[in-house]
Chains A and B, each alone.
Chain A
Amino acid sequence: MMDVKLINPFLVAAMHVLKTMAQVDAKPGRPFLKKDDLAIGDVSAIIGITGAAKGSMALIFTEQCIKDIASNLLGEPFTELNHEVRDAVGELTNMICGDARRRLAEDGFILQAGIPTIVGGKGHTITHIASGPCLAVPFTTSQGSFMVEVAFSGST
């Protein structure tokens, strides 16, 4: 079983980061267990996590959603899924993971994180480092949808 206490901070962090940095309201949908590595979206970033638990978090956006969020974030319109928009996925992943780690640290659960890796393209895959199950949570916004995936090998 996956510990909800370990997952919820990542979902709260996703909503907090998007609201603070891009003025976007994100609403979480029904979580589900991922059965394969296929990304449900067009561009993703994954970040490795170590410390009290080992795992990874990924953030996956549909093209329209991230173009609109990047436009809000940087204050200029983006009509293509270019390098700048992809870079925004990496920085958002970094911030969401950092905010989640801060929340977990308040409960004495200390985690460290690496530097996000950005991947993209139709039908791209995301390979989580953890041996445990991967929980995916879809989010909807007025700009489109995105997904947060979290996988942990287990806590010590």
Chain B
Amino acid sequence: MVVDDFSTMRRIVRKILKDLQFREVIEAENGLAALRLLESNKVDLIVSDWNMPMMTGLELLKRVRADERLKGLPFLMVTAEAQKENIIEAIQAKVSNYVIKPFSAAVLAEKLAKILPQG
């Protein structure tokens, strides 16, 4: 699942995930929309922006980690919020990994490889 309020970034991440052989990618434009989709969809991974209207990526991360069914999901934050305090806050909320925008496809793939189960 890709969560970002800008369709441009959702499309960029979707394309990279497809190139990495992810068969199906679903999209949400904020944390709240993502939570609704998670009620009825089984996903293997969440790639989320931080700064979004309605519900931020950080709040989404906290909700996911507090949910018995979802708490083990790999959660990659892909964000322009690149200050040390942001990264510490995300780590404290148990983010799986963190990608700072702008990024290359290779960087995203490398971070994904670190958090996804092998095989």
Contact = CB atoms under 8 A, between A and B. Distances in A.
Interface of A: 16-17, 20-21, 70, 73-75, 83-84, 87-88, 90-92, 94-95, 97-99, 101-102, 105, 110, 113, 115
B15 A97 contact: no
Interface SS, B side: loop
B84 A105 contact: yes
Contacts of B101: 17, 21, 94-95, 98-99
Contacts of B85: 110
Contacts of B7: 83-84, 87
B73 interface: no
B8 A99 contact: no
Given A21-B101, A75-B15, A99-B82, 9 more contacts: A21-B102, A90-B6, A90-B8, A99-B80, A102-B82, A102-B83, A102-B100, A113-B51, A115-B51
Contacts of A113: 51, 80
Interface of B: 5-9, 11-12, 15, 51-53, 79-85, 100-104
Given A87-B6, A102-B100, A115 B83 contact: no
A86 B79 CA distance: 20
Given A20-B102, A20-B104, A21-B102, A98 B79 contact: yes
B92 to A, nearest CB: 18
Interface SS, A side: helix
Nearest to B80: A98
Top 4 A-B pairs, shortest CB-CB distance: A98-B80, A102-B82, A20-B102, A91-B6
A115 B84 CA distance: 20
A96 to B, nearest CB: 9
Contacts of A102: 82-83, 100
A99 B102 contact: yes
B82 A101 contact: yes
A70 to B, nearest CB: 8
Contacts of B52: 115
A97 B80 contact: yes
Contacts of B12: 21, 73-74
Contacts of A16: 102
Nearest to A111: B83
Nearest to B4: A91
13 contacts: A17-B101, A21-B12, A21-B101, A70-B8, A74-B8, A84-B8, A92-B8, A94-B80, A94-B101, A95-B80, A98-B101, A102-B83, A113-B80
